[in-house]
Structure 1
Amino acid sequence: MSDYRDVNRANWDERAPVHAASAGYDLAAFARDPAHLSDTVTFDRPLLGDLGGLRGIHLQCHIGTDTVSLARLGASMTGLDFSPASLAEARKLSESAGNPVDFVESDVYGAPGVLGNGAFDLVYTGIGAIGWLPDIRRWARVVATLLKPGGRLFIREGHPVLWSLQDGRDDDLLVLEYPYFEHEEPLIFNEEGTYVEADHTFVHTTTHSWNHGLGEIVTALLEAGMTITGLVEHDSVPWEALPGVMTRLPGGEWQVKDRPRRVPHTYTLQAVRTTVY
């Protein structure tokens, strides 16, 4: 089997310019309005608190919309991604927005090797990121290694229950189809499109991904020397995760139409590094 990183990198390299040109990401708004923030960071803002003067690293930053948004909130930001095409778009965005961000190419597991240990006050990870990683405990060790003692992790992510649901059904049933817990072998998907509207015929359509249970994520962080300081589950998600059964809310979030309180859509988890190795 091909290395999952090579397979996924090819997919994200092809997605990057398509996403950058899409109305969904609306990169022009960053140049047009110096106060503009991504919808995701706008949602996160009440829990993020004051970022002024913090040195932050955004893991799996993609084309940089959230990274630039965090810089606009006062953090000195670095963005890390394994896709050179994504980073090229992120650098263009940073320049046009007028918010300097240092973008670094690496996969997550290699981050301490290129960024150093204990260099950051904030590790930020956004929606749809950790599912591309096979080992959540290794991820947690990377997070702890990057943070200064007292430094904070902020992650808002798709809930593992949401990732377990089957999409594309002809009815409105919510069916648990995929693993909730971490699994050794990847889930392999072959999808012709992407999550934004785009007039593009994709060539690299295969992806490898994994789910991670909420308890596994929390336990991994505790084992890595982190203290959990917050865990909030939300009934909305920033994209139409289940086409046909969701409705769009004001502000750009999406929610299951029928009894949305049945299903955790996303969660925000915060943790502080308390153990020094």
Structure 2
Amino acid sequence: MTSEYLELNRALWDERAGAHAASPDYGFQRFADDPAHLSGVVRFDLPRLGDLTGLRGVHLQCHLGTDTLSLARLGADMTGLDFSGEALALARELAGRAGPPVRYVRSDVHDAVDALGAGGFDLVYTGIGALCWLPDIRRWAGVVAALLRPGGRLFLREGHPVLWSLADPRPDGLLVVEHPYVQRPEPTVWDEDGTYVTTDVSFTHTRSAEWNHGLGEVVTALLDAGFTLDALEEHDSVPWDALPGMMRLLDNGEWQLADRPWRLPHTYTLRATRR
């Protein structure tokens, strides 16, 4: 990623960290009040995660660390990595209040091997809304492979590239493919003054740069980086109101297209093992 886009995105995430932590959407107080509480994203994938007891794990692009802390509560020895110092300060505060301990390291994901060392992890975890900030999915796959020991595994749940490619909701209710499905050299640059959580904070850093990555590109990048694909599952729900005015809230806290949700995948879970 060029330094221009890196700094653009870092400024956006630094500014939004406090509003995200204060929002009920991240549920900081629930983590402090209930030592068994898990984030909705991790809870959704409990049947797929398997036994994490004693595994040394790293959560790349961990933001406020609610998923990281949840994985630690499931028994993993977790490290969280993110490029936002503001987000990590809040993540450390939450871990200090809620436990168990989590190590947090500030680094761009592309420099994760320099920051954490090579081959020392049993698990690399990446959650919703992470890959879209990366300009080169093959470079990312190489980083993940370098972090893992042989036999270590990657667990990824991400917004589906079909969902990312859709235009904003239209008055006529049509779903229209507007944005790139596959990775392009230049990013899609957004200028939006809001964020995805409930808040009345006004933001000054409104521009961001994102890249989409087709499902085939992600899988091929991992195969070429030395992984065996263990599972790939597409889901008809997403953890936030991705298409406002067009989605319904489900009992499990996820959102789903209200009209014929089977028309498109909303998210996917991928599991792979480093050969």
Please give the range of the TM-score, normalised by the shorter of the 2 chains: over 0.9
Corresponding position: 1:273 with 2:274: yes
What's the counterpart of residue 198 of structure 1?
Answer: 199
Separation in 2, partners of 1:171, 1:37:
38
What corresponds to 1:109 in structure 2? 110
**Cα separation, 1, equivalents of 2:134 and 2:94:** 26
Q: Report SS of the residue matched to 2:232.
A: strand
Distance in 2 between residues matched to 1:85 and 1:251, nearest whole Å? 30
Gap runs ≥5 in structure 1: none
Q: Distance in 2 between matches of 1:170 and 1:11?
A: 29
1:18 aligns with 2:27: no
C-alpha displacement of 1:44: 1.1
> C-alpha distance in 2, partners of 1:220/1:82?
23
Q: Secondary structure at the match of 2:53?
A: coil
Aligned residue type for 1:9: R
Alignment match, 1:50: 51
Q: Which residue of 1 aligns with 2:174?
A: 173
Give the TM-score normalised by structure 1.
0.98
Q: Following the alignment from structure 1 to structure 2, what is the Cα–Cα distance between the partners of residues 86 and 146?
A: 22
Rounded Cα–Cα distance in structure 2 between residues aligned with 1:74 and 1:235: 29
Q: In 1, are the aligned partners of 2:69 and 2:99 still within 8 Å (CA)?
A: no
Q: Check the 8 A contact 2:169/2:175 in 1, yes or no.
A: no
Cα displacement string for residues 157-207 of structure 1 (whole angstroms, at most 9, x for unaligned residues): 000000001124223111100000000001000111000110111000100
- The match for 1:38 is 39
Q: Which amino acid aligns with 2:274?
A: R
Q: Whole-Å Cα distance in 2 between the matches of residues 56 and 128 of structure 1?
A: 19
Number of positions where the alignment pairs a residue of Structure 1 with one of Structure 2: 274
CA distance in 1, matches of 2:89, 2:164: 29
Matches within 5 A, 1:104-183: 104-183=105-184
Which 4+ residue blocks in structure 1 deviate beyond 4 angstroms? none
Partner amino acid, structure 1, of 2:154? L
Structure 2 CA distance for aligned equivalents of residues 128 and 216 of structure 1: 17
The alignment partner of 1:180 has SS state of coil
Correspondence list, 1:184-263, <5 A: 184-263=185-264
Q: How many percent identity over aligned positions?
A: 66
Q: TM-score, normalised by structure 2?
A: 0.98
SS in 2 for 1:238: coil
1:139 partner amino acid: W
In structure 2, how many angstroms separate the alpha carbons of the residues matched to 1:204 and 1:171? 31
AA aligned to 2:234 is: E
Deviations, residues 2-31 of structure 1 (Å, cap 9, x unaligned) = 611100000000110000000111100011
Cα distance in structure 1, aligned partners of 2:24 and 2:180: 33
RMSD: 0.9
